Amino acid sequence: MAKVIVVTSGKGGVGKTTSSAAIGTGLAKTGAKTVVIDFDIGLRNLDLIMGCERRVVYDLINVINGEANLQQALVKDKRVDTLFILPASQTRNKDALTQEGVALVIEALKADGFEYIICDSPAGIEQGAMMALYFADEAIVTTNPEVSSVRDSDRITGMLSSKSYRSEKQMEPVKVHLLITRYSPERVEREEMLSIEDIDDILGIDLLGVIPESQDVLSASNLGEPVILNQESDAGKAYQDAVDRLLGTPRDLRFVTIEKKGFLSRIFGG
Amino acid sequence: MGLLQYFRKDKPKKGTAKLAKDRLQIIVAHEHSSFDVPSYMPELQKELVAVIRKYMDISSHDVKCEFNDRADDDMSVLEVNVTLPKNK
Ligand SMILES: Nc1ncnc2c1ncn2[C@@H]1O[C@H](COP(=O)(O)OP(=O)(O)O)[C@@H](O)[C@H]1O
Ligand SMILES: [Mg+2]
């Protein structure tokens, strides 16, 4: 059974695209045919993060409007055989993203044998974000340990339970997962940052993973290589753990407490 | 900067995370309760006032409408309270 998974948040800049790329890549690496769809119409970014920007010819809106077929628009990843991306349009306006259009695209992807359809949502609660979440079976609510992000995550969780296809058809609700990103155990220790427990208390969503704040995320985007492909990196490993949990394999949380430091760095607070 | 100041500056500023959590808990609880209130409530209140005014002399503040939709109940309650002025 194909699964539609939306990566959403309400707030912008919290790591949705980074997470969509990483988790999509991780799922595809298991051999499952996976597509990541960029719903950020007008602000295409996923192609850059996945490093395939120069191979984009057609986009999601072209497919919806019948100007290109799915096969023409899908960009195949160069590293993982079973991974594809469906880019966002850079030029059209958001109204082009109709519910009927999105339904047709998702049906076509399912018919084509895709097992995971990852929807990278734009920020906000407008048309683009609502269309990204409408057909979701599962949702990954991406949250930074910061007040506005947590509040927006709560809002978007409400939307998932009231404005999705599953809610409107009174089916089993969208399965919602919490992904905390840009977590800094040092700052949590100093009580400057909301902790995992704090966020859990407020949102009450099942925790899928915690991705530490990491410089490797920027270098990964510079290279156009999803950070999960860098298994030297804490962020890459944390994304791999999240993918494993998504697939049902329990994994202990890592990188959520302060690393033991050497004597010198301890007294100098490095 | 004196040595003492240096150490003081380095001292962690405790507790802002705690305040963040408290504020979030309040706002999130508030938003949950207000999202459940149907959007027609103000209109309903106004119309009720108009109907009662046909028979009694009341002010618009005398009619209080409250909508309760608790997750643990399987029904919603619309509570309407009308305070009537005495001896009129
Ligand atoms: N774990 C992380 N550590 C450090 N920087 C991160 C992390 N996750 C995301 N970022 C950075 O945050 C910014 C926004 O990320 P992005 O995935 O584009 O967010 P969104 O899609 O939600 O707008 C980018 O500059 C990205 O490099
Ligand atoms: Mg994005």
Q: Which residues pair with A207 in a beta bridge?
A: A178
Q: What is the pLDDT of residue A89?
A: 93
Residue B71: pLDDT above 60?
A: no
By DSSP bridging, strand A75-76 and strand A83-86 are: antiparallel
Q: What is the pLDDT of residue B10?
A: 52
Q: What is the pLDDT of residue B86?
A: 76
Q: Report helix, strand or coil for A262.
A: coil
Q: Nearest CA to CA, how far is B9 from chain A (Å)?
A: 12
Interface of A with B in 127-146 (CB under 8 A): 146
Tokens 């047709």 belong to: A104
Subunit contact A202:B28, Cβ cutoff 8 A: yes
Q: Which of A10, A5, A7, A6 is nearest to A146 (CA)?
A: A10
pLDDT in tens, A158-203: 999 999 999 999 999 999 999 999 999 999 999 999 999 999 999 9
Q: Report helix, strand or coil for A174.
A: coil
Which of A157, A187, A191 has the highest number of chain B CBs within 10 A, making it the mutation to test binding with B?
A: A191
In chain A, alpha helices (H): 16-28, 46-50, 60-64, 70-73, 99-111, 127-134, 147-162, 165-168, 185-189, 196-203, 215-223, 234-246, 263-267
State the CB neighbour count (10 A cutoff) for residue A189.
13
Residue B8: pLDDT above 60?
A: no
Residue B3: pLDDT above 70?
A: no
Nearest CA to ligand 1 atom 15: A15
Helix/strand/coil percent split, chain A, to 5: 45, 15, 40
Measured CA to CA, the distance from residue A153 to residue A142 in angstroms comes to: 7
Is A202 in the B-facing interface, judged by CB distances under 8 Å? yes
* A117 in Cβ contact with A106 (< 8 Å): yes
How remote is the CA of residue A3 from the centroid of ligand 2, in Å? Answer: 21
Query: B14 to chain A: which residues are within 8 Å by CB?
Result: 190-191
Neighbours of ion ligand 2 (CB under 5 A): A 16-17
The more confidently predicted of residues A256 and B76 is: A256
The more confidently predicted of residues A19 and B74 is: A19
Length of chain B (residues): 88
Rounded to the nearest integer, the mean pLDDT of chain B is 79
Query: Model ipTM?
Result: 0.86
Nearest CA to ligand 1 atom 9: A15
Q: Residue B13 is encoded by which pair of tokens? A: 């500023």
Measured CA to CA, the distance from residue A40 to residue A60 in angstroms comes to: 10
Q: Which residues line ligand 1 (CB under 6 A)?
A: A 9, 12-18, 123, 181-182, 211, 213-214, 217-218, 221, 235
* A196 in Cβ contact with A256 (< 8 Å): yes
Which of A125, A190, A196, A199 has the highest number of chain B CBs within 10 A, making it the mutation to test binding with B?
A: A190
Subunit contact A191:B23, Cβ cutoff 8 A: no
Subunit contact B31:A198, Cβ cutoff 8 A: no
pLDDT (average), residues B49-68: 89
pLDDT (average), residues B22-31: 92
How many beta-carbon pairs below 8 A join chains A and B? 47
Q: What is the pLDDT of residue A261?
A: 61
pTM: 0.84
Q: Report helix, strand or coil for A229.
A: helix
Subunit contact B20:A195, Cβ cutoff 8 A: no
Atom index in ligand 1 nearest the CA of residue A213 equals 3
The more confidently predicted of residues A153 and B5 is: A153
Task: Collect the ranges in chain A with pLDDT lower than 50.
Answer: 270
Measured CA to CA, the distance from residue B63 to residue B52 in angstroms comes to: 9
Measured CA to CA, the distance from residue B56 to residue B49 in angstroms comes to: 10
Q: Nearest CA to CA, how far is A150 from chain B (Å)?
A: 8
Instruction: Find the CB nearest B27 among A151, A193, A201.
Output: A151
B14-82: which CATH topology? Answer: Cell Cycle; Chain A (3.30.1070)
Q: What is the pLDDT of residue A196?
A: 98
Q: Report helix, strand or coil for B86.
A: coil
* A261 in Cβ contact with A270 (< 8 Å): yes
pLDDT (average), residues B50-64: 91
Q: What is the pLDDT of residue B13?
A: 52
Q: What is the pLDDT of residue A220?
A: 98
Q: What is the pLDDT of residue A270?
A: 44
Which of A147, A148, A160, A200 has the highest number of chain B CBs within 10 A, making it the mutation to test binding with B?
A: A147
